[in-house]
A and B are shown apart, each in its own frame.
Chain A
Amino acid sequence: MIPAAFAYARPSTVDEALQAIAEGGDDVKIMAGGQSLIPVMRLRLAAPETVVDLTRVAELRGVRDDGDAIVIGAMTTHHDVMTDPLVLQHAPLIAEATETVADRQVRARGTFGGALAHADPAGDLPAVALALDADFVIAGLGGRRTVPASEFFVDYLTTALEEGELLVEIRVPKLAGEWGMRYEKFNRVAQAWSIVAVAAVVRREDGHIAEARIGLTNMGATPLRASAVEAALAGAQASPETIAEAARSAAEGTAPSSDLNAQADYREHLVQVLTRRAVTAAAGL
């Protein structure tokens, strides 16, 4: 459990970080909280040439109000996200899901941006970001660009981040109207990854569901939106029967894996139950 040798850089600004990444050679890994990267390196699943440690980049930490969105710095720890007043007010779904991530020790070091950039299909936060239509602000030596969540997650452990780029912040739109949210996580022991989880964001209007956004965790190589369910719920009556009926299509378009926690058909079943429960709770029923 000793990583292979690697070069190490510890910049203190985003510019220095981008420089360090550019100079780090062919195989650079960016370390945020290190809660996924270090175990993978200790198991020698990854043996990067250079590790660029963002711990000291203070400008990447914290949550700020930016008018129609809250902006979460990529290096904000899970603990700080969970307890942040802006998050609790405008995106409580993020706090709810973050509380289920691993254990207290991991949440003290692990970061919001690190978890998203790692893009673990069993990780909780990608599906949440997807359901909330978050935008990802990416810095490179040539400047900054913004990628919507729907384009950020590309494949298994793969995102839209190009070589030499750095995820700097995540913009989460403030939701207008009467929104309810729920993260339904299904796992076997408290600190484990999700076997399947469902992030539901529902806007109610006059006893109807005006809009539902549903993110699915671990139903494929990337987080997915349950589009069929969303379509069935749009404008539907907010009743247990309608929601149950809509949730039956939650597995449409998914491609879950089989492992010792769950085979694919069981995941396809679970996602329907969890979607029903998440939407029901988010709709306030």
Chain B
Amino acid sequence: MTAVEDRPGTDAPEREVGKARRRKEDARLITGRTTWTDNMVLPGMLHLAVVRSPVSHAKITAIDVSAAQQAPGVVAVYTGRDLADEQGSIPCAWPVTPDMVNPGHPSIAVDEVNHVGEAVAVIVARSKAAAADAIELVDVDYDVLPPVLDMEEAVAEGAQLTHDHLESNTSYHFVFDAGEAGTGTDTEQAFADAEVVVSRRFVNQRLIPAFMEPRSVVVQPQGDNYTMWSATQVPHILRVMLASVTGVPEHKLRIIAPDVGGGFGGKLQVNPEEVIALLLARRLGKPVKWTETRSESLMTAHHGRDQIQYIDVAADREGHVKGLRVRLLADMGAYLRLITPGVPALGAFMFPAIYKFPAYRFECDGVFTNKVPTDAYRGAGRPEATFAIERIMDELAVELGMDPLELRRKNWINAAEFPFTTVAGLEYDSGDYETATQQALELIGYDELRAEQQRRRESNDPVQLGIGFSTFTEMCGLAPSRVLGSLSFGAGGWEHASIRMLPTGKVEVVTGSTPHGQGHETAWSQLVADELGVPFEDVEVLHGDTAISTRGLDTYGSRSLVVGGTAVVKAAEKVVAKARKIAAHLLEASEDDLEFSGGKFSVRGTPGAELGIQEIALAVFAAHNYPEDVEPSIDADATFDPVNFSFPHGTHICAMEVDTETGMVKIRKYACVDDIGTIVNPLIVEGQVHGGLAQGIAQALFEEAVYDADGNLTTGSFVDYLVPSAADLPHFDTGNTVHAAPGNPIGAKGVGEAGCIASTPAVVNAALDAVRHLGVSDIRMPLTPERVWRALHQGGDGGDRATAGTNAYGGAQTESTAGVSTPASSLGGDR
């Protein structure tokens, strides 16, 4: 008798890697019939609601919680003062310089508030409604201080301080100088010798990750043990960090990230509310839950981007680039969260992009302002860098009177030159920029579009057409642990996996890379099906629970397949190696005479002598007959630490219509050819590219977190923070070239962030290409119709937007979504 189902035929099963499998997790994710954290209901569970600051900068002079304490259903009310001795500081794991200034980040404000939405008290009640009702009953007295909102003002002499116990608004000054690092020549000399220098100031605006599932956390105390369910990307990191912040020992803390509805880096965080929930569950001895509202999410979950970029490029008249100089002001917001300071520093290495710059210098100031902290957001540092370099390459082309693609060709790394060490010291693994570009040009129908552009220009058509390029690369597969160490990051970048062969031949794969919608369960099943020769359906992927997946570093930075997938493959190789010993014993053959193919060990030269790996799983479970010198198990685990990043690249081309009468921009066509290495599942890749494009295009055209002069977030709801839907986006023509990544056995390079990184500059370049002949050389993102119109008719870059939210349905703002209003904030005004 065998517990393994017979499979028809003797041919090796069809290879899974490369198959466009529909995702096995989608049915439950899409219908919501699954365990989202907010679906959790525990006996006796209490509900938390957070009282938040309506002012951006103030001393707290008094808090009266008595009315809230008396409210129906309220169990307790806590202020920052009540938790001051145990709440510690939200951790920052990336001190990018030895003297970086960290002001400390209490989970609940104690003496002062530094951004609108900062927690000042927390209500514990028997129902969610009772907790929400009591928020208005907490009376907080604020001694309001002037807010720091503008980075350029914040770093000027005599500036108002975000934190009055610090000496300045600068957290750190990070420098990478290729000349000093020995990876390039002297930058100042390169500029001194240059025939042409182009300098620009770009604004990479503040964005809100706007993940679909709001943040949610449930904590259950059991004696001195605590189980936390959280809508997090990083249960493993959260466990370590919460242990260090709260003093609950790591082995007494179990974190479960059940199904998680998106993150985009926004859930790569140790949230104040997670700390608060743990502290209150400990104090009260009862389960507690906190789930944010959408308004809270937009206002208090960390934001992304927000840089002012001063960039200079040096070149000769023939268009050979000679040097690159970048100075950034990067908005930290009011506090440093998990990797707040590291995001712009990570970008430092991507500004030289695919070009052979001989000289490069990068400087970045991390700047405090009275806004919510920034942190990781899809691409984290690389979209900002890619935007700046791809924009200034266009500006240089204009200055030289060259075709923008010709300029890129002249300077990019040629296919024969890989592996190529850049001026930033990175070794690019593989690629072919020319081939990808050729394919993209064909996909979009380049020559016809250029002809139409010409016709529209000549006829002075009110709707002009432009074509924009982005020939990008990025560093993926975060990350080689030693490299992270050299960048002062607080952890490594390895990943762990284990494979458990069950008695019935089914396979459990445990991954440390916790998904939040990427499709790990499907892709890992495909990998394991090929490695072990078992059916795709026989593989189950477990993740997200620190008691099941004991080691891991989770999902971000396009690392899961490249690092986590490789750990799975390595574990599978070990399973096969262990099974080989058992097979040799049972088949009475030498290990050397065994072949493993299609899930079966067979003895070379002895037809019919074969044993399936799923049968071996049963044999070692029974353990009646196995070799003396091995354990009765073919389970295995593996930890993979990459030696290098992987470097996906691609060419993105956008064709844009600009209505010169209204300023409305509309993408006419979009084509991209990405090289992301070997493709495990083309359907998942297509989905990642589409989603990434949507987010990158959203930065170019729609999204911006806007604060008014008082520091209120006026894009406090989706009425004003415009997340585009499919109806607002064009058809995407996508393609791939494949240069397998040499750094991992799968050959994958990572695709999670590609579309988001590449698309933004292509879109802006396209809009500028449409109107440059009308005298426009820059338009600030997002390219609102008003900004485009102003740039066309008044010159400049379109300027600041009014900061008042729309008047639709009553302004869609309340004191709790947008703080207080003063005359200075009423109609926005320019700041």
Contact = CB atoms under 8 A, between A and B. Distances in A.
B728 A189 contact: yes
Interface string B783-815: 011100110000000000111111111111110
A36 B809 contact: yes
B47 to A, nearest CB: 11
Interface string A20-45: 00000000000000001001100111
B739 interface: no
Contact of B806 (A122, A191, A269): A122
Interface stretch (B197-205, B469-477, B681-689, B714-722): B714-722
A195 B295 CA distance: 23
Given A188-B784, A191-B725, A193-B808, A4 B133 contact: yes
A219 to B, nearest CB: 12
A186 B786 CA distance: 11
A210 to B, nearest CB: 28
Interface in A247-285: 257-263, 266, 269-270, 273-274
B807 A263 contact: no
Interface residues of B, number: 47
B133 A5 contact: yes
Contacts of A218: 807
Nearest to A157: B810
Nearest to A37: B809
A274 B785 CA distance: 14
A285 to B, nearest CB: 16
Contacts of B808: 120, 122-123, 193
B661 interface: yes
A266 B789 contact: yes
Contacts of A269: 789
A195 to B, nearest CB: 8
Contacts of A4: 133
B809 A39 contact: yes
A259 B129 contact: no
A224 to B, nearest CB: 15
B295 A273 contact: no
A45 B802 contact: no
A274 B789 CA distance: 14
A270 B808 CA distance: 18
B574 interface: no
Contacts of A121: 807
B774 interface: no
A156 interface: yes
Given A2-B128, A189-B702, A266-B789, A258 B809 contact: no
Contacts of B129: 2
Given A36-B809, A266-B789, A260 B715 contact: yes
Contact of A156 (B133, B714, B728, B807): B807
A192 interface: yes
Given A1-B295, A2-B129, A263-B801, 11 more contacts: A39-B812, A43-B817, A46-B810, A120-B809, A121-B807, A186-B785, A192-B722, A193-B808, A258-B802, A260-B720, A266-B789
When A and B form their complex, which 10 residue pairs have the shortest distance between CB atoms, in order from nearest? A190-B727, A193-B808, A122-B808, A1-B293, A258-B802, A2-B132, A259-B804, A260-B801, A266-B786, A189-B728
Interface of A: 1-2, 4-5, 36, 39-40, 43-46, 118, 120-123, 156-157, 186, 188-193, 195, 218, 257-263, 266, 269-270, 273-274
7 contacts: A40-B809, A189-B702, A189-B728, A195-B785, A258-B802, A258-B827, A261-B806
